[in-house]
């Protein structure tokens, strides 16, 4: 086993600890990726705070990009030296969900506490979200990675691993938007901005961003929102109706985990509209709504995990759009940090002002 540096969570809610850990070589169907960049997602922060339980000690991080430096048998077309993005979508490829084109909800369990990571003394170390990318290297299934152009900067590529595909995918795949429809996006953070981009790419007529600050609403317009409404208004859905020409939305994309956002989401819907549930509240949090209204108006609530993407299908066309100048990536990065600064980067992310903070590794 190799010794690498990783940011380890030993207690929920406590700062991560940079320390030496052990990583096993890749087995059959697995590759080792030496990372150049890993972005910080709010899901990492929620996990590290204990919001969803899990095993400790653990290494979080799941939005990563790097280069394959070792490979086991049966890894398809991948080779040592390939630049790749690394996702948390560890799909078996053969269960009913995978075979039905839904790898994000793969039914085959994977015990992350028995993954390739170990503490320096050989004890189990949880590879959180089947990734464990707050580390210099990861060993993951070849089904979790996608080859990228060598010229694509890894810090930008890392954003494609979760934030971009979750937001854009929710608009394109889960909401199944078509040209001319009207959309509301609740939350203009990292995922929300990408949901706005996805709605724009899908040809939405009007895209209304709803957020708590005017600053974030202005940023939302740079990504494609046609209107902005403050969530702090007494009845923000009335302002949204006005922005949409006195009608409700065809789709509401909820990109935050705040319960008030979930409670209010159906109020923004028009007849036949659907709310796409993307943001992840803490376990045990409950939302409420009046089901008779949804039934009478033909409305619906739909969960979307990771944008319902098929990474081998969707990430390449998103890269193509970026190269054409039609998908923003550069503008999503708020700051670049070293692994030793990860706790500072996390605290900055918690403020809500950052779009995406990225940990950049020095592999020279």
Residue 362 pLDDT > 70, yes or no?
Answer: yes
The verdict on residue 320 lying in a domain is no
Average of per-residue pLDDT across 130-143 = 97
Confidence (pLDDT) at 354: 81
Contact 109, 95 (CB under 8 A): no
Q: Name the band, by pLDDT with cuts 50, 70 and 90, for residue 257.
A: very high
Q: Are 135 and 250 in a shared domain?
A: no
Query: Beta strand 83-86 with 63-71: parallel, antiparallel or unpaired?
Result: antiparallel
Q: What's the chain's length in residues? A: 364
User: Tokens representing 291?
Assistant: 């089901």
348: cis peptide before it, omega within 30°? no
Q: Name the band, by pLDDT with cuts 50, 70 and 90, for residue 242.
A: very high
Q: Are 296 and 250 in a shared domain?
A: yes
Residues with Cβ within 8 Å of residue 128, at least 6 apart in sequence = 44, 47, 54, 58, 59, 60, 61, 62, 112
The verdict on residue 315 lying in a domain is no
Residues with Cβ within 8 Å of residue 256, at least 6 apart in sequence = 186, 187, 189, 192, 279
Q: Are 176 and 134 in a shared domain?
A: no
Confidence (pLDDT) at 188: 95
Q: Are 129 and 264 in a shared domain?
A: no
Confidence (pLDDT) at 293: 94
In the chain, count H helices and then E strands: 11, 18
Q: Summarize pLDDT for 156-208 with one digit per residue, the tens.
A: 999 999 999 999 999 999 999 999 999 999 999 999 999 999 999 999 999 99
Dihedral over Cα of 210, 211, 213, 215: its sign:
negative
Please count the other Cβ atoms lying within 10 Å of the Cβ belonging to residue 242: 13
Q: Are 144 and 259 in a shared domain?
A: no
> Residue 339 in 3-state DSSP?
helix
- How far the first Cα of the chain sits from its last, in Å, is 22
Q: Are 56 and 194 in a shared domain?
A: no
What does the buried/exposed string (b/e) look like for 93-130 if buried means 16 or more CB atoms within 10 Å of the residue's CB? Answer: eeeebbeeebbbbbeeeeebeebbbebeeeebbbbbbb
Query: Which ranges constitute the DSSP H helices of 40-105?
Result: 42-49, 96-99
The verdict on residue 109 lying in a domain is yes
Domain of 335 in residue numbering reads as: 2-160+329-360
Q: Summarize pLDDT for 48-74 with one digit per residue, the tens.
A: 999 898 899 999 999 999 999 999 999
Q: What is the mean pLDDT of the chain?
A: 96
Distance CA 109, CA 214 (A): 43
Q: Are 156 and 13 in a shared domain?
A: yes
Confidence (pLDDT) at 259: 96
Q: Name the band, by pLDDT with cuts 50, 70 and 90, for residue 353.
A: confident
Our count of domains for the chain comes to 2
Q: Are 209 and 271 in a shared domain?
A: yes
Residue 91 pLDDT > 80, yes or no?
Answer: yes
Confidence (pLDDT) at 364: 56
Average of per-residue pLDDT across 225-245 = 97
Residue 38 pLDDT > 80, yes or no?
Answer: yes
Q: Are 70 and 207 in a shared domain?
A: no
């Amino acid at each position: 086993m190799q010794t690498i540096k990783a940011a380890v969570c030993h207690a929920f809610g406590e700062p991560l600890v940079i320390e030496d850990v052990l990583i096993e070589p890749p087995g059959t169907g697995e590759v080792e990726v030496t990372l150049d960049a890993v972005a910080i997602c709010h899901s990492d922060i929620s996990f590290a705070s204990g919001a969803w339980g899990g095993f400790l000690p653990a290494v979080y991080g799941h939005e990563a990009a790097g280069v394959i430096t070792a490979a086991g048998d049966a890894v398809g077309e991948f080779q040592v030296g390939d630049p790749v993005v690394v996702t948390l979508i560890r799909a078996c490829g053969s269960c009913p969900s995978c075979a039905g084109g839904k790898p994000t909800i793969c039914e085959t369990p994977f015990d992350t506490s028995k993954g390739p990571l170990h503490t320096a003394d050989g004890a189990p170390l949880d590879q959180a979200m089947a990734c464990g990318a707050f580390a210099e290297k990861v060993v993951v299934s070849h089904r979790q990675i996608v080859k990228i152009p060598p010229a694509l900067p890894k810090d930008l590529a890392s954003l494609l691993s979760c934030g971009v595909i979750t937001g854009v995918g929710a608009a394109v795949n889960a909401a199944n938007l078509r040209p001319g429809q009207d959309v509301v996006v609740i939350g203009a953070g990292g995922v929300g901005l990408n949901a706005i981009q996805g709605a724009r790419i899908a040809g939405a007529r009007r895209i209304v961003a709803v957020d708590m600050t005017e600053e974030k609403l202005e940023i939302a317009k740079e990504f494609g929102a046609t209107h902005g409404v403050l969530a702090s208004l007494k009845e923000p859905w009335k302002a949204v109706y006005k922005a949409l020409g006195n009608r409700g939305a065809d789709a509401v994309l909820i990109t935050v985990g705040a319960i008030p956002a979930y409670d209010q989401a159906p109020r923004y819907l028009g007849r036949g509209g659907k709310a796409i549930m993307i943001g992840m509240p803490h376990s045990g949090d409950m939302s409420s709504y009046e089901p008779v209204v949804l039934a009478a108006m033909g409305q619906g609530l739909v969960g979307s995990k990771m944008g319902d993407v098929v990474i081998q299908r969707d990430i390449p066309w998103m890269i193509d759009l970026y190269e054409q100048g039609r998908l923003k990536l550069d503008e999503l990065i708020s700051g670049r940090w070293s692994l030793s600064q990860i706790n500072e980067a996390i605290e900055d992310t918690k403020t809500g002002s950052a779009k995406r903070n990225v940990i950049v590794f020095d592999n020279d």
